[in-house]
Structure 1
């Protein structure tokens, strides 16, 4: 047992005497420190107790309270003297006083308890007086309202009563004197005057009580208001005296004095605390200086004592850091790590090993890495691996292992042998990483490099390899191979009209159908755009390629469902055979492409085998295109004019400008030879612009020669209509030649107009507003909507020459032409029939009411100088001129 208060050590025994003294000194120091902190805290709190901001705020509130009371008294006097007619000032001032009283309800914390209590008592007295004043003001407002009502009514009513002669003169004079006295009393409040007015009121009330007096009711009403004025005037004056006599100002002054006294006491207390705080700070600074000196001596001793200890543990710390680093690397590495002994038994694995393989450490320690084997590597693979390890001390390579789940995965494995001083292996360290994603990425890259991104078909690169393999195989087996070049017909229209998303969806569906139409050994590749190439190896007969081509075209024949659209798409196929049509892949592809274009020229939706003459024709087309590019600059283009005659009378009333090419070697070429090439190459746009400008220039030249001008029609191409500002071009051509717009007619095809109907309507409206004539060429061969036909505002329909050609004697093939004529007339449009070559056709069309005729029967296209003779001079017969003007109109 120990005595009460005796200290014990950690083992329960009393501490040694030296330790007990140290403990007591430490305890005494702690107590002194706590006491010093408490004293300093108390001094700090007292020194900072007075808030200047709070003092200013409270002082302003007291001043505002006193000013508010003065303003309230002033407002009462101003209202009583009628300087203020309303009570708004009184109400707002009273409300502000209440708010100020609320704000000063809690005295500042730096006031002493006595000063605070005295201030609160005075504040309570002020609130009582303020409440009395508010009640008096409320009574004053009620009485003043009644008094002002009677004062407003009584003088005017009295004047009206007297001026109307409602009383005898003597009575009127008495009432007037009485009314002036009441008004005077309302202003000065004279008590003697009040006594006289009471006697006069009593006398007048007796007169008003006489039932024989007819104006008694009006008089009684006047006297009632006078009575109110006499009574309320005294009440109002009494209320004003009560308000002004309340000692609120004195109470406010007492509050200010008490607060200032309390503030002085608080400021003095704070100053004393600051002085004491300064003294305590000096004492504390001196004490700290002594402690710092002692600590300095103890610190130097500790440095000397610890220097030897630091030297001893430096080596140990370095070793621990290295071990920690190795452990961190082993634990946190993303690669799996395995440590085995010399017998290949696993002694340690890291967390990444478990994450990759699925095996927990307890499941593999003591086992050999053989439990991870996938079986994909044979025994020879492992013999080579161990031989390399024994020879070099390390091995690395790709290996396939199996997870605990049974999944096989690829990994990149590095094995290093750890040897002892004699060079014998003691451990093996294996480091591996799962390369599944890398292998998948490499596979995707290889696939993307060799396949089309949209359809997944082999691309050009893989196509060349497959085609070369087919050629080598066919050469070895002495058999044929074929290349089919498939191009979708009018795919660009689908892409431009319905959008690229629909076009891409169509290509995907076409891919599926093509794959379903060929053999497993065949290759379907996408060349680009809407072009597909099919490689057919090991063919017995050339007709086998034709059979596949028919299957492809048949597969495309069924409608494609593309969202809300059901589209029927056809294709053109060109076939090139190995070895007849080429010995290598580039020649076979080029010849299959040439055969495909021949299939398109033959009407599309078919196939064509390659023949040698196709290249000759293609070369001719290529040379023709190159020569056509400079034809415009070299001035080789010409315009010929074919007349349009009136169906009744056959006078020339219009013409059509037709383009010709004066080829330096081939002579004069018709549009059929070079216009398709121009459209394919895009040259049709500048050529079309030249035709419009040249036509206007020629019309101006004929006018200058004195010729009678007739309207001339110009054909517009689809590319020109889409890619050129046709309105500005026509306006500029007409203005440059100072021509009236009705002399120029523009012919457009149905297909061109319907490509973007809303835009077409807008452009045609601008041309019509200029006065340019508009015609639909080859009407009936396209797909016009009758609703749009009315919106297009064209004046003329040209019957397609195929319908005119079908008009034969003894036949009934003129029905379409007759229907077109009737439709046009019902729409208020005139009709031109082109391609009229026989008299029977002329007579039939005339009987059906056709307006104009054009064809070889009336004249072939002629050069400008030859056609000018058919125009005649300005002095031509009057009836012919009238016929031309009526048609032009």
Structure 2
């Protein structure tokens, strides 16, 4: 017997592959068939046979026309088969046929030539696909594209990551950016910097949650012009809910006015902020007062003054100040009611009219909201800028009050806020808070106080935040008045300046402090630095450097023990003059400190050119430091700037251990304030500095 064993592994693999291909063909929704060169139908899947009217399989080898019957599709296929066999190319045709529901269906016919091993065409594979939905989609896309191209509204499409992938011609006409400018960029290249981050966070939160956002937004054209858009954004998702695109459609609201309306707008609206101007504000205030009289309701007028805004314009370019004003206007608008009138009255002053007030507490809350809205930093062309605001408020308490009287009251309240350090609000009373007679009486008392030597220099200690040792003594003039008690300089210096007494008082402070420093040094007291504030009158007199040189000579001092403080406001008001003084004091060996830093905007470029040793942070930012993220950000920014310029930082007005510890954490170097007691006499300070040294009173100074 003979046995033959054959390895049929390969044949089995081929058969399995053929079976898989047969399964794929049979399960495909497309109509698939195979025809030989003689146009005989050799194979077909179920969808093909069903469409041709066959319930089951057909006998292989039947002529194609017989197997498929008559009709437009068969005629198209038969003519296409001939071309495919002759040319050996893939043939693609579109045809419309009636479906089972007697409605027209779109079909795509493809014929693929099948070749043998020698490359000769020996058959044709037919594939017929129902493309009705595809064609409907294409038609809709063409219609959408026509609308997209011809609409007057700007359209911008981004991918899921927010990168711009398409814009229409209206987008370019409105924004000034071409398609090439924006493709591949983010939409934030249009950002006007008017809106706070919270605005965009709210927008995206709603867009991602609901798939839709609509509202008004201020954007910037390519030429820098700020304009108002009405914007709608929609989220586009696939059937599984995955984000594919975001589509934004916007209209330019600034172009909606007719020429007469534009002229009216120019007369009554501020060109920079688009807010009502002084003319329209006064008109609306008159109307509000009349309405208040008729309805017997309260209205409130508010004046909002940006604190030390001129410093920003002086230290940075004016166009940055303009951008900041626009951004401030936008933030203020967001915290008031649509019916309230917010206007720009002057360069850095805004007015607000609030009607139908029922409780005065409402206005206090509104004032707090207005202040809070400006606490977060403004980013303007890469500059981080902080702004505070002083607010004066007045009500129509008297039914017959006129516009001028109401405005005068708000101005009076605003002046009081500024006298008390700015960054606050005050509600005016119907009577002036400081009658003229009271001021005259106080002025007379001050003159008498000078004659009677009631003004005295008091001292407080300053400490190193790292090792908590006393490193400086700060000298400040106080007034020990019999009726008023101990009066701080903040209460009398403004009046002293109005009376022409500021120079005499400032010179008294400087001479007394230098004489006391000489006494302490002679006693061997470890006072390494005595700090004295310089007033504007001393500065503009023009002889400060010679005066200090004479004092050093009269009271033999080591010059570097003396520190003179100049406020940030003085620096920006008298920059050129103060620069010369700083250089002169530096030659003498006297240290200079810039005080009240943070109220304006101290540019590093300005500080680099001045021989300054220390930046003293404004007490306003220390007061609420532990509770205010805004104040912490300001303090941290000042400290970072000082460290970059190799300057020392000092915190003024420290009152608590929490403030002390936080300042230490933030990197501040020195601190002074009530934490170590109220200002004291020279004798008391001497005991605190060195209990072993008996105090010696210097010879009193007589002006």
Give the helix-richer structure, 1 or 2: 1
Normalized against structure 1, the TM-score is what?
0.34
Structure index of larger Rg:
1
Normalized against structure 2, the TM-score is what?
0.41
